[in-house]
Amino acid sequence: MNFGIAVHGGAGTIARAELSPEREQAYRAALEDALRRGHHILKDSGSALDAVEAAVRALEDCPLFNAGRGSVFNADGQHEMDAAIMEGHTLRAGAVAGVSNVKNPVDLARRVMDDGAHVLISGMGAFEFAHREKVLLEDDEYFFDQHRYDQWRQVAGSDVVKLDHSTADGKGKFGTVGAVALDQHGHLAAATSTGGMTNKRWQRVGDSPLIGAGTYANDGTCAVSCTGNGESFIRAVAAYDVSALMEYRGLPLNEAVREVVHRKLPLLQGEGGLIAIDRNGHIVLDFNSEGMYRGECGANGIVSTAIFR
């Protein structure tokens, strides 16, 4: 049986001048580690759901990415994290928004899904649920990163909201991580996690934890995880739209992704990209930004990673 996994660590890029060979290698190594963790599960006939959770957990544990440990600071100097996970053959899904002190938000999203009472929980309610489920918690110090703190201090007290990495010309990197997978049983799954935007206010929630916007999986079509301008991806219902184009118009995965990423999203000022895998194991990693931190690994175990186009 064919199987495979793909991951992303955000669309857009750090300016090449800021990305030293050592730093680029660190990003690639982190992507490869996440891929190998997920692939190991798939190779042993494990589920796509377990594979995407493991891959995203690895990226959340890496401070290089804006999710989990590497999450950016909000307007109050705190961390508000979002995550979602979805299983393709049952269409079960779980998501959390605006959670703090949860070591791995993707694990909490999985608990929400397994509990089955709700799909999306948020804020203090999600934190109480994390306590009940005995999900690993960490104090604020665990999430503190000097680089992220310096980013926030530059705009603290203003209405300016910044991306994971922003440059003087307005370009930057959208901080999100995600994974999609197909297992040997023919099942698909997707997961996405993010720390949101630096200096965000009003408990803003982006597309990542919204099923159909930033995360979607359906065994009949594909699994999708998005990264980019969250508001645009929400309005485009981007992740589900890829699936719908396959289901209702009969488009193959690559054409459905191209339609969403290069035609529909730009009409909504939607910069970014997505990763997707279909029920036959075809993987597409596409974006309309300068780059996307990404990688894939098929049944042959060969890992491929890339950042720039």
Dihedral over Cα of 33, 67, 136, 116: its sign? negative
SS (H, E, C) 61-112: CCCCCCCHHHCCCCCCCCCCEEEEEEECCCCCEEEEEEECCECCHHHHHHHH
Chain centre distance of CA 153 = 25
Q: Give, in degrees to the nearest 5, the angle at Cα 214 between 289 and 102.
A: 110
Q: Token pair for residue 146? A: 């000097």
Question: Would you name the residues annotated as active-site residues?
Answer: 176
d(CA 87, CA 108): 15
Q: Label each residue of 17-71 as H, E or C.
A: HHCCHHHHHHHHHHHHHHHHHHHHHHHCCCCHHHHHHHHHHHHHCCCCCCCHHHC
Distances (CA, A) of 20 to 4, 114, 291: 30, 42, 16
H or E element at residue 142: helix 140-143
**How many Cα atoms occupy the beta-carbon half-sphere of 146 within 13 Å?**
0
Q: How far apart are CA 56 and CA 7, in angstroms?
A: 8
Query: Which residue spans within 125-269 are E strands per DSSP?
Result: 165-166, 172-173, 177-182, 188-194, 215-217, 222-228
